Structure 1
Amino acid sequence: MQTILTDFYTLESYEKAENGSFTAHIHLNKDHTIFKGHFPGNPVTPGVCMMQIVKELTEEFTGSKLFLKTASNVKFMAIINPFETPDLKLQLDITENEEDVKVKNTTSFGETIALKMSVSYKK
């Protein structure tokens, strides 16, 4: 899997459901340099990084190189501190045709939902 977020996270495991949705378990690297600047003494996972992780996982699961077309209903609902909650669960409901891939994502840690969004990618 090619990633622009080098050493930012590790895909620990994933399952594919019968309906085609995926549940991925990732582990954030709390020592990544991004967290030194975002924010010093109070590390917060940047939202754009979470959006990139969803894209990279979708590319992995579909086997397609994707380009973001639209993002809607993007809601950051909780701060993801990589020292306190490095283990995340991402639910990806993926539908695709010849030209596009649509994803509904919910990212959580424990019982807390951290991110919800719907995105559309162009193949």
Structure 2
Amino acid sequence: MWYDLSIQKRLEGESLSADVHVPGGSAWFDGHFPGAPVLPGIAQLAMVFDLVRQAFQDPVRVKEVSRVRFKQMIMPEDRLVVVAEPRPGRVGTYAFRITKNEELVCSGTMTVVPINSAEK
């Protein structure tokens, strides 16, 4: 992985949580932006997906990402907490949040389906 996943745990029910360290040497920071590196949003969503997919035995893919809000920038060497909570009545849909120093960095909803699913 391009980041360090140091602790991973299940919270109450089916909620998932992981402590993440984003190393300064990650290729995601190259050119984004020169002199002031910031982790791109797509990389943040990849961290969420990596956490969510571990809740499933079979491989899954992202079907939909919605209601995403980026509140703060993630810089090299930041330490984060990624939490994903299943939405009641919506199989494969998780509300997620990424925090840094207990402050919200990013939040949204991600839906995953089995990789061989015909759902689009």
Alignment of 1:1-123 (within 5 A): 6=1, 8-83=2-77, 86-94=78-86, 100-123=91-114
Shift of 1:118: 0.4
CA RMSD of aligned residues (A): 1.8
1:18 shift after superposition: 2.9
Contact (CA 8 Å) 1:55, 1:66: kept in 2 or not?
A: no
- In the alignment, the residues of structure 2 paired with residue 47 and residue 102 of structure 1 have an alpha-carbon distance, to the nearest angstrom, of 19
State the secondary structure of the residue aligned to 1:114: strand
Moved over 4 A (4+): none
The CA deviation at 1:96 is 8.9
TM-score by length of 2: 0.84
Q: Secondary structure at the match of 2:6?
A: strand
